[in-house]
Amino acid sequence: MSPALASTPTTPAQWPEAVDLTTRPVALRTCDLTLGFGSRTVLQGVNLGFPKGTVTALIGPTGSGKTTLLRSLNRMNDKVPKHWHQGDVLLDGQSIFAPGVQLMALRRRVGMVFQRPNPFPMSIADNVLAGVKAHRIASRQHHKAIVKARLSEVGLLDAVSDRLGSSPFTLSGGQQQLLCLARALAVGPDVLLLDEPTSSLDPISTEHIESLLRALVPALTIVIVTHNLAQARRVADQTAFFYQGRLVEAAPTARLFEEPSEPETARYVSGRMG
Amino acid sequence: MPKAQRIPMARQPSAVATAKGQVQPGPKWAGRAVATAARNLARSGWLLRGATGAAALVPVVALAGILAVLAERAWPAIVYNGLGFFTHVAWDPGSSYGNPVRTGGALHQAGATFGALPLILGTLGSSAIAIVVAVPVSVGAALVVVEKLPPRMANVLGLFLEVLAGIPSVVFGLWGALSFGPLIARDLAPLVARHVPDLPVLNFFRGSTGNGEGLLTAGLVLAVMVVPIVASTTRDLLRQVPALPKEGARALGLSDWEVSRLVSLPWARSGIIGASLLGLARALGETMAVAMVSGAFLGANPSNIYLPFTTIAATIVSQLDSAFTDGTGFYVRALAEAALVLAVITLVANVAARLLVRKAGGVALPVGRGI
Amino acid sequence: MASPAATSLSGAGAREPLDLYGRPPWRRRAADRAGWAACLLALALMGAPLVSVLWGVVGRALPGWRWDVLWQPATSQGGGLGSEILGTLVIVAGVVVVAGTVGIGSGIFLSEYASGMAGSVLRAGSEVLAGIPSIVLGYVGYLALVIGLHWQFSLGAALLTLSVLTAPYIAKSTEAALRQVPTSYREGADALGMAPLHAMRRITLKAALPGVVTGLLIAVAIAIGETAPLLYTAGFTDNLPSLRWAHNPVGYLTYAVWTFYNQPSNVFQDLSFDAALVLVVMVLVLIAVSRAVVARAGRHAERN
């Protein structure tokens, strides 16, 4: 674990300092996004902006549509049978659904980390380099440096420096998730989507990943889906509450938790729903 | 006795019948005692367990029996032929007109020489051609069907593979001998032979292209027969690649092809190697199709890939009549030695395939010919 | 945190934004195209021989097809395939009985009783046996039964040899089918106080029946299509099969394909193709039946 990440905000005093979200440019925005599968509508008219260099947490009960929204931000839902959508998602003002948009380019800019670690069946170093090689981001002589840089960025280098050539499946769950994070960072995304990245991890790994996310902004814009309200509180600048496929309320994290303007939000964040 | 208890007694006809057959029609109590004993035996489950256990032993006993019978019958030939069986090319059952000769206790025809090198090389060579052709074709076809084409096409592929696996090998032989072989002799072989560069290393691919009966034809016919095993296993393996890493690769901006190449194929790799070994075992042992397209050329190695040759299995079939005419019975023993060699080679390939797949913890390999 | 030097190797947010419409370099697109094209070519290469085989057999046999080929006995001038078809059916029936008994029994034992070391040895033995070339089995049948036990070319020798060859397939699919039967069925039968044999016959095996039937159909398909092991055990005859266990050779369809195809006379070559057609049709019917069995079982499972 790198020294910079040794202290993790766990007490209210260490919650992220409130940033003025209104003055920041928006990296990603959904415009009246409605989507579903077949006859089922999963998300209804979502309007939500993700300010540059901030962490946004998507919270809400199971089935509220938050994961579906996350997956539509880099069009991972495209492959789902009978998927449809209305409205739009703008990345730096450009529609990601416009004809001619290259999925490969989009996903290079909007990366994703999944609920469970999903390393590829290749060596640890090749895992980090998978995207770099495919997109031909750097020449071969830089590969080694990139592996080291990205692994140290996520605080994994010390643990694996002597076995970069071996299989990632011998690593612990937390280490595998860090590897997946390093892999996503290696292609240099502007936005990083995380789908409950710590739900299958132990508390120490969770803490480590949370502090890592704080360290990655402001260079990155992060969107994280979480079931864990305390986690949202710890890492997010902005929090959006979803209920039954609608965006109920989005606000700076502190305000959403302390003075929610909608009764449903109040019930959820106080633990009476969910 | 209460009625309810009598029913199971009546439902054990085999046990009761056996018991009745052995017991004299004597006092009533004796018959009842035997019947009760039989019923208790059936109830305890030992009957079912014992009978099915015996059935389960049959394959293992058969396997041991096969090797034992072959070894026992082949022993005089093994002693007589020595290592020459693996190094000599001459194959001559000897003269059936002269007097039989006795060497080291084994009676054989005068001048008998059994050098199985061309047979062994032919077996390995034709199977190698089959694997080299069949594995890429099978893997490519399975890949595009699983990853790209709609599920309905996967069903069609399944049906294709079932039919391909089910067609009798004589029918493949018939096809190879009368349509595919001539096609190769007329079009493919001259084309390749003409364009292969004139290098000593490549002489095996140059020269006379024969009439379609030969090593190349046999290897390609075998390839067709091996495809169902490799393709169906590969398809099953690819279907079982977990969705998560594939999704992760797609989220990284990799194309479908890159996802397949970097995630799906490596995931299935050891299973595919196992299936290929299984296909190799099938090719090594295939008999009729090879016998019908090999040209049955005994006694020397073919001078190039287009010319007649033979394999161990094809020789056992093609020498059927000659073996019967050897009054000393020694030819039968020599063929037993060849069969033993073939059994051992295929056994090794099979065991290796299964060990490999077990080590990888992948899917189960199909039995035998992969139907 | 990452050093600036490392970040310059394109870490998070280190570059100017990428063009969303930027197509991947041509080399990458070409690799994709070439890859999938090669796979499609492989698919075509796989399908072509099958079509060619079926077309070759059907196209040659159908034009001169006579229905009486199915029952006419063979003569020195040609005749029909009556005795061969009957012989094949007799052999297949025998295989179903012998291999069916051994295979189903073995499958039951492997699924219900065999565990640990013993189970894996028995299972491995059965799987490896299925991988032994059929010509080797046939030759051993010849050595042990035809000359060893003096049965001569006979139904008995053919039956036992083919049964050893096919029993592993039946065992494997029986075992797999039984493993699919929920434990609750067995527990239910135990709770009713059923005798094990009864419970197995009435409950467990019944639930696994589609799998067992599929295994039997595979065995039948193999028994119909095999030639090599029969050459050395059944021998051959033009006469009708005699149903005697030993001493009488039996004719069978695959032999007709194998002996007649390179005869100079066209009549015999036609018979060879007719026999091939009958074999292919039999295999197709078996495949259709096994698919129907599986589909039917699937429907039942869905309804429950």
Domains of chain C by start residue, with CATH = 85-303 (1.10.3720.10)
CATH architecture of the domain with range B113-361: Orthogonal Bundle (1.10)
Neighbours of chain C (3+ CB pairs under 8 A): A, B
Question: C288: which 2 tokens?
Answer: 């259709």
Q: C185-227 pLDDT, tens per residue?
A: 777 777 777 777 777 777 777 888 888 898 899 889 999 988 8
Give me the pLDDT at residue B27, please. Answer: 57
Best mutation target, C18, C20, C53, C147, to test chain B (most B CBs within 10 A): C53
Neighbours of chain B (3+ CB pairs under 8 A): A, C
- How many C-beta atoms lie closer than 10 Å to residue B302's C-beta? 22
Average pLDDT, chain C: 83
Return d(Cα A247, Cα A51) in angstroms, integer: 17
Return the structure tokens found at B295: 């040209």
Residue A3 confidence (pLDDT): 41
pLDDT value at position B202? 78
Rounded alpha-carbon distances, angstroms, from residue A264 to A30, A238, A252: 22, 18, 17
Helices (H) and strands (E) in chain B, counts: 18, 4
C84, C251 in Cβ contact below 8 A? Answer: yes
Sort out which chain A residues have CB atoms less than 8 A from C17's CB and list them: 92, 109, 190
Task: Say whether B26 sits in a helix, a strand or coil.
Answer: coil
| pLDDT tens digits along A84-143 | 999 999 998 889 999 988 888 899 999 999 999 999 989 999 999 998 888 888 888 899
The whole-angstrom separation of Cα A19 and Cα C160 is 84
Q: How confident is the model at residue C93 (pLDDT cuts 50, 70, 90)?
A: very high
Domain boundaries, chain B: 113-361
B221 neighbors B173 (Cβ within 8 angstroms): yes
Closest CA to C206 of C229, C178, C225: C178
Chains contacting A (3 or more CB pairs within 8 Å):
B, C
∠ at Cα B23 (B17, B26), nearest 5°? 125
Gap between the Cα atoms of C12 and A150, Å rounded: 9
Indicate the DSSP class of residue B203: G
Pairing of strands A221-225, A55-59: parallel
Q: How far apart are CA C272 and CA C260, in angstroms?
A: 5
pLDDT tens for residues B109-147? Answer: 777 788 888 899 999 999 999 999 999 999 999 999 999
Task: Please report the pLDDT score of residue C146 as a whole number.
Answer: 87
Low-confidence ranges of chain A (pLDDT < 70): 1-15, 18, 273-274
pLDDT value for B346 = 92
Residue that wins the pLDDT comparison between B167 and C11: B167
Q: Which residues, numbered 241 to 260 in chain C, qualify as contacts with chain B under a Cβ-Cβ cut-off of 8 Å?
A: 254, 257-258
Share of chain B above pLDDT 70, in %: 86
Q: Which two tokens stand for residue B15?
A: 């046990």
Is the pLDDT higher at B368 or at C87? Answer: C87
**Residue B308 · residue C92 · CB < 8 Å:** no
Find residues 137-156 of chain C whose CB sits inside 8 Å of chain B.
Answer: 137, 139-140, 143-144, 147-148
Per-residue confidence band for C245, with pLDDT thresholds at 50, 70 and 90: confident
Chain C closest CA to A264's CA: distance in Å?
36
What average pLDDT does this structure show over C31-53?
Answer: 93
In this prediction, the residues of chain B whose per-residue pLDDT falls under 50 are: 1-26
Give mean pLDDT, residues C265-280: 88
> C10: pLDDT confidence band, cut at 50, 70 and 90?
very low
For residue B249, the chain A residues in CB contact (below 8 A) are: 120, 130
Tokens of residue C180, six digits:
């699919």
Inter-chain CB proximity B288 and C168 less than 8 Å = no
Query: Under a CB-based contact definition with an 8 Å cutoff, are residues B208 and B246 in contact?
Result: no
How many other CB atoms are found less than 10 A from the CB of residue A226? 25
Cβ pair B287:C133 closer than 8 A: yes
> Is A101's CB within 8 Å of C20's CB?
yes
Q: Check CB contact under 8 Å for C21 and A186.
A: no
pLDDT tens for B1-39 read 344 443 333 343 443 344 444 444 445 666 777 777 766
**Is some CB atom of chain C closer than 8 A to the CB atom of B55?**
yes
Q: pTM (2 decimals)?
A: 0.86
Give A101→chain B minimum CA distance, Å: 13
**Shortest Cα–Cα distance, C287 to chain B (Å):** 7
Contact A104 C24 (CB under 8 A): yes
